[in-house]
Amino acid sequence: MKRFVRLFAELDQTTRTNAKVDALARYFQDAPEPDRLWTIALLSGRRPKRTVQAGRLREWAAERAGLPLWLFEESYPIVGDLAETIALILPDARRDSDLSLSDWIDVVRGLGAMAEADRKAAILDAWDRLPARARFVFNKLITGGFRMGVSQKLMTRALSRATGIEEPDLAHRLMGEWRPETTSFDALIRAPDPSAELSKPYPFYLAYQLDDGPWKLDTPPADWAAERKWDGIRGQLVLRGGERFLWSRGEELMTDRFPELASLADFAPPGTVIDGEVLAWRGDTPMSFNALQKRIGRKTVPKKLLEEAPVIVQAYDLLEDRGEDIRALPFAERRARLDALVADLPDEAPLKASPLLSFETWDELAAIRAGSRAHNAEGVMLKRRDAPYRDGRRKGDWWKWKVDPLVIDAVMIYAQQGHGRRANLFTDFTFAVWDGLPGEGALVPFTKAYSGLTDAEFRKITHWVRRNTLERYGPVRQVAPEHVFEIAFEGIQESPRHKSGVALRFPRMARWRHDKPPAEANTLTDLKEMLDAHG
């Protein structure tokens, strides 16, 4: 644990990429293998599940520190992190511990099966054996919210340096549904189990946003292929050994959520891996994301919903062809193989090739992009024809050119403090539009947003909130309806759960409209018209 805590401190104290990679590489060379494995798991999102309620931790920490609970509760928003607040208020440890990271994780995992009195005793014992920084790390593990400020890409780079294994190979080995409890460092990294390869996807290739359009790209339009950027769930369809597996971009196995894709194991040849988009589909047309969203998060899908929102995979790319990894081939060749594969499928197969767009100039592509919402698409994708399929987010070969967001002007009516480094600032806001004539009707809340402003703007609005609070509801403050913000969002849909009747997709604050008084903000009627046009 001491070695891991030193690594945590090194990573926390620098923003330099090379310094983080150096620290991780040293750790992967020296740490015991069980600790290396758990560190890889933590950095790739495979954290132990929460085993203790946050409320209990607050009570026990306040009791051990000899503080009234109200004082702890007042301190928590200022610190902005529960694990750190607990670590700061507890008295110094009276004993020492030589347990390793994996040993302490075993302790954390065992808490869930204990009676509450035993769980409390075990946690108090741990707090009494760990110094402040190690206690902070332990608290993070208990709460299930462990973060180290290191991307999986950086971790893979450091692991490559420590082991001598190429980064793309490591990225592939770390994909899939492995858990530290069921594998070893040697089996995962040094000598992967061939039997585990059946369901394993490849690392996803991610595109950068093309903010200023393609006119400044260093090669002509003829060097690029374009297709629509569909508004669904990015996924990887793996067909091996007569079975099918569907992985999300976040490495979540979602096969059972889309049973209509089962027939693809019969239609497509084994050894096929496809990168594509899961879309709700009716006839020859994609349905809105709202239709697909009704199925997201469901473990089982009722028959009625299967009929209302059937899905297909709209294929972008072919990564494995009859068992051959073809990611190193140029996109044009991979695409030709994909088209040939799809052409051999029966019409009823729930797999289509995403059509390539025909254009000769960037202006022609711009006109196609402008009509994206009419096709329930988010914009267009640009892919260099000679590009291999790489891993992670890389600039140069793949670009996403999204349509401009929808915008509406709204009045801020509630504010709440943020967390972490923004714990002392008000950063989370609720916005409203007018129900009736602007400036005369009631203000109806319709969305929340917490991103888009600069730190300076957050400081300025925080100062104003503290001087203009009308009411307090726990951590939320009602404020005078004086400020207008332009809210940008990607989509709008009907929502009976919200008083406004609508819900926005990916809302954020585009700008603070100092030039507009509240009476000039938009209305609920404006929102409903947007819903009719884009919902």
Q: Which residues are catalytic?
A: 229
Helix 132-143 crosses helix 54-65 at what angle (to 10 degrees)? 160
Contact 528, 437 (CB under 8 A): no
Spatial distance between the Cα atoms of 320 and 327, rounded to a whole number of angstroms: 7
Tokens of 102: 């994996």
Q: Both tokens of residue 447?
A: 């969305």
**The tokens of 163 are what?**
């082991």
How much is the CA Rg of the chain, to the nearest whole Å?
26
Q: How many residues does the chain have?
A: 535
CA atoms within 13 A on the CB side of 325: 11
Sign of CA dihedral 159, 161, 164, 170: positive
Tell me which amino acid residue 257 is. R
The distance in angstroms from the start CA to the end CA of the chain is 51
DSSP H or E stretch at residue 311: strand 311-321
DSSP one-letter code for 198: S
Q: Residue 187 carries which DSSP code?
A: I
Residue 129 to residues 64, 96, 136, 337, 478, Cα–Cα distance (Å): 14, 5, 12, 60, 44
Distances (CA, A) of 532 to 219, 221, 407, 524, 528: 40, 35, 15, 12, 6
